[in-house]
Structure 1
Amino acid sequence: MEWSRSREREKIKNQREKEETKKEKHYKLQKDEIFNQRYLFVQAISDGTFGRVVRVFDGGENDFKAIKIIKSVKRHIQSAKIEYGILRTIHQQNEYHPGNQKIVRAYEAFSHKDNYCIVFEDLGLSLYDFMRGKYFGGFELKAVQEILYDCLQGLDFMHASGYTHTDLKPENILLIDKQQKGKKEGHYHVKIIDLGGAVFQTECHSQLINTRQYRAPEVILRNKWTNLSDMWCMGCIAVELFTGQQLFKPKGNDFYHLAMIEKHCGPIPIEMIQQCRNEAREYFNEYQLNDSFLKWPDDQFMVQELNLMKVFKALIPQNQQELLNLIENLIVIEPLKRLTPKQALEHEFFKLTFN
């Protein structure tokens, strides 16, 4: 019963969010449109919840840039202004840190016909779009190593600057190469984008962060979270880069998500259960059953899927122990037991040489 009620609440909430998003309109682009008396519209790149991204030619510097055109919706504009402020601030801090170059650069912001716009450096495809173009096949090990290293450098820089990204996923990691081949001079290099949800360590932390498939267990439980929630995301991304498939597909339900996490990582510790908010406590029994307090879903289809689900340790070949060990130290239920970005950068996986 708990499973059914929880699923119904999630369904209603998701439907409301979809209906609200449909009412919000994207900016209508005009052929040869000029932005801020400088940027000539070249082509549309992508559309998102916040608005749309276009490629433009910068007549002032004689090169290409990307402009994010935000929908005329208050919450999206506020988020965009926060993102621009963070990017302008963070790049002025510790400019010699190697991770400084792994975060996308924003050059200016302005209003265009009632739409807030941010000008970014022009980058390539997102990891998600690149994998989609490969029919969601995984990357070769050398590419996995290079991409993860760049991401961890960027995260180390962000965390050292006091920020948690809060929404790491393949859609928010862009390849530097713009030729859509992924490689640049024989290597895969990336930058982290979309800092609109980034939170400074002394700011008020909202309960819910992360895109669902990459959401850390402490966030699902509505416990206090830190920048180590980003490292759970990195573990999920590492598996996805290697296999081409998302590790968690929780079907919009926290209850099922927690069951998947326990299947991969073992029982959720009692200390974390005791700290969780009231709405999450309904997922747990007052007593242990097979070492777990979790009330497993009573939906037979979901139970069957859980039984058939392969754990991540079975997805990584036995001859790739260094990669598996890295992932095992990122996808850890207890946040304080996860590697920090700095610790992860020192892992043996990044000392391997691939042909």
Structure 2
Amino acid sequence: MARAFTLGRAPCALSGLGHLVSPEVPRRAPAGPVAAVATCLHVRQRMGRGGGKGKGSGKGKGAGSQKPTDDPNFVRWSKNMRLQGSPSGAVYVVEDYVASGSFSRVFRVHEAKRWGERRVYAAKVMRKEDSYIQYTSSGPKEGELLMRLEAAQAAQEQEVLTMRCLDSFATKDDAGQEYWCLILEWLDASLFDIVRANGHRGLHLSMVRILLRQLLEQLKVLQELKCTHTDIKHKNCCLANTEHYLAPSSGGPTIILTQPLAKFIDYGNAVFEGDKKPHPIHTKQFRAPEVLLNVRMGWGPASDTWTLGVTAAFLVSGQLIFNSHDPTELLRLMRQALGPFPARLLAAAQDNRMRKAAELAEGGVEPQLGSWLNLAGKGPAEAACADLLLRMLALDPGERLSAEEALRHTFIADGGDGEKAPIPPKTSELRYLGAS
């Protein structure tokens, strides 16, 4: 039987941002471990438990190309393992394993208490300090950054959209080895997951606008703190809730989220101005031109605008616009989509081979991005969206919009022509990603 649904009742209304979604279990839990919240880099398939009496991995750094989590003894755990050490005295009980990344394992946990509502959280467990290739990870630093971002929004009386870190402390695994634990709000599927569930077709433009606005608000706080996330991508943006209905569209039924709220995850490699900068950064398909060319002035917060622009283009089209692992091919695709590389950018390139590839890349004078995304020659909302993405993806980082400037763009400010989400059919049922 279909449930009644009113757009205005959503905690994060389609017409605006609404209030923060609490880190409680959704009204109906999604099937399977879809909360890949705060994993570092690549999430693996579900693995075996690794409980038992074996010795832990001990201290030390990740070496060569082996990720810290490649060690089979990294975080020896078992169901109902108790994560202790919180300054508040709270104890968190492991319910299940969720995901693994380069530096951490993520578990579904709840706080051990006799009374009150049981809330589910994500526990990100890692070594206190670790390294892998050019990257470093610091558990305490990541926790402090998340709390600082939340405090910055609260101080400005802004809605707190950043993923919340509720606890940060040293703990031990089943083998008695020491780790650092972050207790994070439980999030749901990633933007990659929701687009995949939509048949790898772009989302409705109203969904793109709302999700992009929320992510720009979070990026604005990062940029005000002169901090670069360094790994924004579709798999590092997670939804607080996947409740949705299917609305008719020209390409077939399309997903409309009833409570759209997206948040960045994985702040473990964030870099503040003045910190040592690793090179390169970004997942390859999201890598900014200043990183590919290794320009003299280096990369900075503007590179996050680029990666968010690539993520937004993915939401529009359902595809990665720069889908290659070959750096020269990435430059060629950028040239075709965005026009000629600015002379100033090429002059600053320290990688001569990549500079030559950028100079030789073929393409027309006019950017083709709007056509690639099927936005050209349509209505005002599509034109406004294409214009914003071109400005977020300016090849010269000095010409790229900041998050604050992007929030003032007409596509975000009024949706171009104020396009709204389709009203659900009377027979529409609310669904959840992963639910049968």
- Partner residue of 1:193 out of 241, 252, 265: 265
Q: Paired residue for 1:174?
A: 238
Q: 1:243 to 1:208 in 2, by over 3 A?
A: same
Q: Paired residue for 1:231?
A: 305
Q: Paired residue for 1:50?
A: 103
CA–CA separation in structure 1 for the residues paired with 2:158 and 2:348: 34
Residue ranges of structure 2 left out of the alignment (5+ in a row):
1-62, 85-89, 246-254, 422-436
- Partner residue of 1:269 out of 319, 327, 342: 342
CA RMSD of aligned residues (A): 2.9
CA–CA separation in structure 2 for the residues paired with 1:273 and 1:193: 33
Q: Paired residue for 2:275?
A: 203
Is contact 2:281–2:287 with CA below 8 Å preserved after alignment?
yes
- Listed as ranges, the matches of 1:269-288 within 5 Å are 269-277=342-350, 280-285=351-356
CA–CA separation in structure 2 for the residues paired with 1:272 and 1:162: 22
- Partner residue of 1:67 out of 123, 139, 149: 123
Whichever structure has more helix as a proportion of its residues is 1
Q: 1:132 to 1:94 in 2, by over 3 A?
A: closer
Is contact 2:164–2:185 with CA below 8 Å preserved after alignment?
yes
CA–CA separation in structure 2 for the residues paired with 1:206 and 1:236: 21
CA–CA separation in structure 2 for the residues paired with 1:126 and 1:154: 16
% identical equivalent positions: 23
**Aligned-partner SS, 2:263:** strand
1:333 Cα deviation after fit: 0.3
Q: Paired residue for 2:81?
A: 33
1:51 Cα deviation after fit: 2.3
Is contact 1:213–1:250 with CA below 8 Å preserved after alignment?
yes
CA–CA separation in structure 1 for the residues paired with 2:186 and 2:157: 20
Q: Paired residue for 1:118?
A: 182
CA–CA separation in structure 2 for the residues paired with 1:227 and 1:353: 30
Aligned amino acid, residue 176 of structure 1: A
Q: 1:175 to 1:273 in 2, by over 3 A?
A: same
1:138-193 Cα deviation digits (max 9, x unpaired): 21111111100000000111111221211111111110116688877x23111112
1:28 Cα deviation after fit: 3.9
Q: Paired residue for 1:313?
A: 370
CA–CA separation in structure 1 for the residues paired with 2:162 and 2:331: 31
Q: Paired residue for 2:149?
A: 90
Q: Paired residue for 2:71?
A: 24
Is contact 1:98–1:153 with CA below 8 Å preserved after alignment?
no
199-208 or 240-249: bigger deviation = 199-208
Q: Paired residue for 2:317?
A: 243
Is contact 1:24–1:71 with CA below 8 Å preserved after alignment?
no
Tell me how many residue pairs correspond in the alignment. Answer: 320
163-172 or 42-51: bigger deviation = 42-51
CA–CA separation in structure 1 for the residues paired with 2:102 and 2:196: 20
Q: Paired residue for 2:222?
A: 158
Q: 1:192 to 1:20 in 2, by over 3 A?
A: closer
1:24-66 Cα deviation digits (max 9, x unpaired): 3343431222221721222222222222211111134731111
1:74-121 Cα deviation digits (max 9, x unpaired): 327843332112122332234144766221111222222223221101
- Listed as ranges, the matches of 1:246-257 within 5 Å are 246-251=320-325, 253-257=326-330
Q: 1:47 to 1:100 in 2, by over 3 A?
A: farther
Q: Paired residue for 2:28?
A: none
Q: Paired residue for 1:346?
A: 408
Is contact 1:313–1:324 with CA below 8 Å preserved after alignment?
yes
Please tell me whether residue 102 in structure 1 is matched to residue 102 in structure 2.
no
1:293 Cα deviation after fit: 5.9
Normalising by structure 2, we get a TM-score of 0.66
1:202 Cα deviation after fit: 3.0
Is contact 2:332–2:358 with CA below 8 Å preserved after alignment?
no
Normalising by structure 1, we get a TM-score of 0.80
1:255 Cα deviation after fit: 1.8
Which structure has more RCO (C-alpha within 8 Å, separation ≥ 6)? 2
